[in-house]
Amino acid sequence: MYTLMNTDTPNDTTQWFAIRTRQDFRAEEVLASRCQEVFFPKESVTVKGGKDRVRALIPHVLFIRTTRDNALALEAEGRRNPDCSIPLWIYRYPKDDAIQVIPPASIGLLRLLSSGDTGECRIYNPQHFTPGQRVRVIGGIFAGYEGFVKRISKNRHVIVRIEGICMVVLPFIHPDLLEVIPD
């Protein structure tokens, strides 16, 4: 559930695709020169011994901005010769096996949520929002996104679904910035 916002220029033939690979960090390096843009959501975590380590927010998933033909060529190349390139699979729609285009708005949301300065999502004033209720954000940096309310660890959260890829929990959104979407 998301709202489409076109941030590309009208003549731009590139689109965002989600890819799955077993070598996500290597794929980021290799694909950087072969795609217009690569987005790999990561976070820094501290492991035992106090060492900092970078890990994928969505393991083995990267987002590439390229043409449809180039995306398919990269996928085919990885299948033909995995020793020379990165094996990858483009996410497809389950009903017709067409490759799935990720809306720019969904990429924007993932960028906001992986920026490192976001916190936990909490919705106060619980009498106004019940679990499962569809809502739309009407103000702030998440304005226009649609999702649903879900109880997680005793708090109500707004969940936005990126179809077939993942669901994301939005950071704090004041209830005054939410509106209920009628069924």
Instruction: Indicate the DSSP class of residue 8.
Output: S
**Within the chain, which residue ranges are assigned CATH 3.30.70.940?**
15-113
Predicted TM-score (pTM) of the model is: 0.67
Instruction: Indicate the DSSP class of residue 176.
Output: G
Q: Which two tokens stand for residue 11?
A: 């003549």
Instruction: Indicate the DSSP class of residue 161.
Output: E
Q: Does pLDDT of 40 surpass 50? A: yes
In this structure, are residues 38 and 32 in contact, taking their beta carbons and an 8 Å threshold? Answer: yes
In this structure, are residues 46 and 52 in contact, taking their beta carbons and an 8 Å threshold? Answer: yes
Predicted confidence band of residue 5 (pLDDT cuts 50, 70, 90): very low
Closest by CA position to 85, among listed 141, 29, 139, 8: 29
- Condensed to tens digits (0 to 9), the pLDDT of residues 65-122 reads 999 999 999 999 988 876 767 899 999 987 888 899 999 988 988 887 777 654 544 4
Closest by CA position to 91, among listed 106, 112, 109, 81: 106
Beta-bridged to residue 181, according to DSSP, are none
- Residue 9 has a pLDDT of 45
Q: What is the DSSP string of 16-76?
A: EEEEE-S-HHHHHHHHHTTSSEEE--EEEEEEGGGEEEEEESSTTEEEEEE-HHHHHHHHH
CATH number of the 126-180 domain: 2.30.30.30
Main-chain dihedrals φ then ψ at residue 111, nearest 5 degrees: -65, -45
**Within the chain, which residue ranges are assigned CATH 2.30.30.30?**
126-180
**Distance separating the N- and C-terminal Cα atoms of the chain:** 14
Topology, domain 15-113: Alpha-Beta Plaits (3.30.70)
Q: Does pLDDT of 8 surpass 50? A: no
Where do we find the tokens 């996928």?
75
